[in-house]
């Protein structure tokens, strides 16, 4: 998506009012513990499961000096001072909790400090599948309000779409990461998402977020989830 990435770099449109106030870190995955003697794996780097679209977007943003690739580990301790030893730590960050590459959250994030903007290149794996949805619901109107009468059991042609909760997770992680890198520790206070088009498993999407304004302790950001070629708007959030 050469034309699409140029739009991103110039500052593409976004629509996600995200309120935050305490601490979010990028998620990470891993299958072993690390000590000071062993450098922890950075999961933001390409692996063999990345699609050509994911790799292309990664390479294009990596070449642009205004964007900084953000490291991604599998526990919060690796984001702290000196990559200290994990010891017998049993926890993992939610978005990096699987041992196998390519089956869950495959993503990398870039940060643009001047624009207060964060881009996540996201490729949902097969373990993020959602239930089969209905392609049509029969509805009517009563006293000026829509009323659902009954679902017509006409499922989407395939269930191979990312679960809505996984989409919410990666949106929250992207917006939160941008907030943390811009203003420091923050925590999500409110997140509303419009699901416009389902995201096929294995596809590549762009999650584009930026900080819009600060009102006291509240930080408002904007965000969109778009297809890799910028042709389909999948999600907007407020």
31 pLDDT band (50/70/90 cuts)? very low
**What global pTM score does this model have?**
0.74
Where residue 23 sits, what CATH number does that domain have? 3.10.129.10
Percentage of the chain exceeding pLDDT 90: 59
Number of domains in the chain: 1
Residues whose CB falls within 8 Å of the CB of residue 151, separated by 6 or more in sequence, listed in order? 134, 137, 138
On whether residue 4 sits in a domain, the answer given is no
On whether residue 72 sits in a domain, the answer given is yes
State the distance between the two ends of the chain, measured CA to CA, in whole angstroms: 26
On whether residue 3 sits in a domain, the answer given is no
Out of 134-138, 146-150, 206-210, least confident range: 134-138
- Domain limits for position 168: 10-132+159-237
Residues whose CB falls within 8 Å of the CB of residue 135, separated by 6 or more in sequence, listed in order? 154, 155, 156, 157
32 pLDDT band (50/70/90 cuts)? very low
Mean of per-residue pLDDT scores for the chain: 79
On whether residue 147 sits in a domain, the answer given is no
Residue 53 a catalytic site member: no
Going by C-alpha positions, the residue among 129, 125, 128, 122 that lies closest to residue 26 is 122
On whether residue 62 sits in a domain, the answer given is yes
On whether residue 150 sits in a domain, the answer given is no
On whether residue 154 sits in a domain, the answer given is no
Choosing from 88, 172, 215, 229, which is the catalytic residue?
A: 172
On whether residue 92 sits in a domain, the answer given is yes
Q: Please, what is the Cα angle at 145 between 141 and 150, to 5 degrees? A: 50
The position carrying tokens 């708007």 is 233
202 pLDDT band (50/70/90 cuts)? very high
Buried b (16+ CB within 10 A) or exposed e, 154-175: eeeeeebbbbbebbbbbbbbbb
- What burial class does residue 56 get, using C-beta atoms within 10 Å of its C-beta: 0-12 exposed, 13-18 middle, 19+ buried? middle
């Amino acid at each position: 998506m050469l034309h699409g990435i140029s739009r991103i770099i110039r500052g593409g449109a976004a629509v996600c009012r995200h309120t935050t106030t305490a601490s979010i870190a990028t998620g990470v995955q891993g299958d072993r513990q690390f000590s000071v003697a062993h450098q922890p794996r950075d999961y933001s780097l390409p692996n063999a499961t990345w699609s050509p679209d994911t790799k292309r977007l990664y390479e294009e943003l990596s070449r642009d000096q205004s964007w900084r690739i953000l490291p991604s580990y599998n526990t919060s301790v690796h984001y702290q001072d000196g990559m200290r030893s994990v010891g017998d730590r049993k926890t993992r960050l939610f978005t990096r909790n699987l041992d196998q590459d390519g089956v869950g959250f495959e993503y990398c994030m870039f940060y643009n400090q001047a624009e207060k903007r964060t881009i996540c290149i996201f490729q949902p794996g097969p373990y993020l599948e959602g239930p089969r949805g209905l392609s049509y619901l029969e509805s009517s109107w009563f006293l000026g309000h829509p009323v659902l009468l009954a679902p017509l059991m006409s499922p989407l042609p395939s269930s191979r779409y990312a679960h809505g909760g996984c989409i919410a997770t990666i949106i929250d992680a992207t917006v939160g990461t941008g907030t943390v890198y811009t203003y420091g520790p923050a925590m999500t206070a409110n997140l509303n998402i419009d699901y416009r088009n389902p995201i096929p498993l294995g596809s590549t999407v762009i999650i584009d977020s930026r900080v819009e304004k600060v009102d006291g302790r509240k930080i408002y950001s904007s965000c969109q989830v778009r297809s890799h070629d910028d042709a389909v708007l999948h999600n907007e959030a407020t």
